[in-house]
Amino acid sequence: MLTVALIAPALKTGQMMKIPSLQARLREYLPHGQLSRQRLPLAPELELWLLDEAYPQHLLDGEQIQRIMNYPAYWCFCWASGQVMARYIIDHPELVRGKRVLDFGCGSAVAAIAAAKAGASSVVACDLDSDALAISKLNAEANAVNLAYSADFFADSESYDVILVADVLYDRANLPLLGEFLTRANTVLVADSRVKDFSFPGYRHLQFQRATTIPDLAESEEFSRVNVYLGER
């Protein structure tokens, strides 16, 4: 894939400089923010570089929390839907084993890493945010897996066996993407806590699970209710 070939080598250069660089980027928005490697409560098999849980969250008011939600530093959190998807993949490795997988809007790449751990033949972590791709590289190294990287899902017509979609439907304008995904993969796995009336052709409900964002942002309880859906063509 052309996009992957162009991006992956760039992330290999000066990889040890990425943590200080991402740390500086994080502190533009959270002056006391610190990245640290953390195991996930719901998927302790995995370890990610995330905003340290010791961050003084009592200093955050509603406006600041909203700023975190709006700024694309989502890469320094493991969102509830991503954690639930990782757990589902680890528990059902047959979904991805030996298959070509793409993690759309990968963020921290938690789903991509889970797929690689579960035996996928290849995994692409895809995200428009260069910071997300940088932290994904570090997280892949922390978990001793190999990923490829893409900044633009629509830059080519590559097909996959499985596409992973975690916490992407926060904007209902993204719902039509569910149809697009089924033109590029035989199977699409979706984890979402935002859409309450999920109904889309080709998709069925698999399970419900509760989870929180890591570190916990004390979001409203409804966002801890994660549903998993399977799309097949």
DSSP state of 170: T
pLDDT tens by residue, 138-191 = 999 999 999 999 999 999 899 999 999 998 987 788 899 999 999 999 999 999
Whether residue 73 is predicted with pLDDT greater than 90 in this model: the reply is: no
Burial track 151-182 (b if 16+ CB lie within 10 A, e otherwise): bebeeeebebbbbbbbbbbbeeebeebbeebb
pLDDT tens by residue, 188-211 = 999 998 888 899 999 999 999 999
pLDDT tens by residue, 56-70 = 666 667 776 776 666
Q: Which tokens in the block code for residue 41?
A: 């409560």
Half-sphere exposure of 119 (CA within 13 A, CB side): 9
For residue 218, the model assigns a pLDDT of: 66
Whether residue 232 is predicted with pLDDT greater than 60 in this model: the reply is: yes
For residue 194, the model assigns a pLDDT of: 84
Q: Which tokens in the block code for residue 91?
A: 């528990």
pLDDT tens by residue, 32-46 = 788 999 999 999 999
Strand order in the sheet with 148-150: 148-150, 122-126, 100-104, 160-166, 185-192, 225-232, 203-210
For residue 137, the model assigns a pLDDT of: 95
Q: Which of residues 23 and 9 earns the better pLDDT score?
A: 23
For residue 72, the model assigns a pLDDT of: 56
- Number of helices (H) and strands (E) in the chain: give both, helices first: 7, 9
